[in-house]
Copies of this chain bind each other. A is one copy, B any other.
Amino acid sequence: MSTPYHHGSLRDALVDAATQVVTETGSESLSLRALARRAGVSSGAPYRHFTDRDAVLCAVATNGFRRFDAALANTDEQSATLPPVERVEQLGVAYVRFAAEEPNLFRLMFGPLAPRVGVDAELDEVRRRAGAHLPRALTRAQAAGFGTDSSLEELVELAWALVHGVAALHLDGLAGSSDVAGAEQLARRVTGQLGRLMRSDK
């Protein structure tokens, strides 16, 4: 009676705990049994709410993309008064900053064991939303006459490869400094080059 037979909100508790574990120690070390123990529940209980371990990781990744989307949207709002090319740069910096601040989450979201497209509709949706910011900002910039030497598609490719590349470089420990500030400075320099390229097309 001290603890009721039914947990009440086991699913949420599991997702929260899983998010914490992934954030702190990476998705590799996530164990459903440990999650169940932490929630004070038997080792079979999680399987009432998730088909398997990957489904839990999928839920964590979905949370991650939600936060990612929010971070980018917030940055875009903050920079509403800036020139369009500068807004692109800001967005790129925010992209890298998120990766640097939440490396384990970012790796889960984009890494190899990331839940593949088409498995989870909600994940697909939030991922799509998060991925729309950069193309939108680039469209605005082109509409203002910047970066028109290339097609929008090429520009998106270039910008995405750049920012994702800086994030990956940092996450893989190949960048000079390994702290968040270093990643941000690197992002600023690289996106600055992109901005320079776009402005020269005016």
- CB of A80 within 8 A of chain B? no
Interface string of A31-57 (1 = CB under 8 A from B): 000000000000000000000000000
Residues of chain B lying within 8 A (CB to CB) of residue A193:
150, 154, 158, 197
Task: Answer yes or no: A59 CB below 8 A from chain B CBs.
Answer: no
In A6-35, the 8 Å CB interface with B consists of 26, 28
A176, B113: Cα distance in complex, Å: 19
The yes or no answer to A163 lying at the interface (CB within 8 A) is: yes
Chain B residues positioned under 8 Å from A169 (CB to CB): 160-161, 164-165
Whether a CB of chain B sits under 8 angstroms from the CB of A189 is yes
Q: Which residues of A (151-193) have their CB < 8 Å from a CB of B? A: 154, 157-158, 160-169, 171-176, 186, 189-190, 193
Q: Does A200 belong to the interface (CB within 8 Å)? A: yes
Contact residues of A between 110 and 143, Cβ < 8 Å to B: 110-114, 116-117, 131
Cβ of A107 under 8 Å from chain B: yes
Q: Give which listed residue, B110, B117, B162, B172, contacts A110 with CB less than 8 A.
A: B172
Q: Which of chain B's residues have a CB closer than 8 A to the CB of A112?
A: 26, 28, 103-104, 107, 111, 171-172
B160 touches A174 (CB 8 A): yes
User: Which residue of chain B has the shortest Cβ distance to A193 in the bound complex?
Assistant: B158
Verify B111–A190 contact, CB threshold 8 A.
no
The reply to whether A173 and B116 form a contact with Cβ atoms under 8 Å apart is: yes
Contact (Cβ within 8 A) A111 B111 = yes
Residue among A107, A166, A168 with max Cβ neighbours from chain B (10 Å)? A168
Ordered by A's residue number, 7 sampled pairs between the chains whose C-beta atoms are within 8 Å are A111-B112, A154-B189, A158-B189, A161-B190, A163-B165, A164-B165, A168-B168
5 smallest beta-carbon distances between A and B, as pairs:
A165-B165, A161-B165, A168-B168, A110-B172, A161-B166
- Could you list which residues of chain A lie within 8 angstroms of chain B, going by C-beta atoms? 26, 28, 103-104, 107, 110-114, 116-117, 131, 150, 154, 157-158, 160-169, 171-176, 186, 189-190, 193, 197, 200
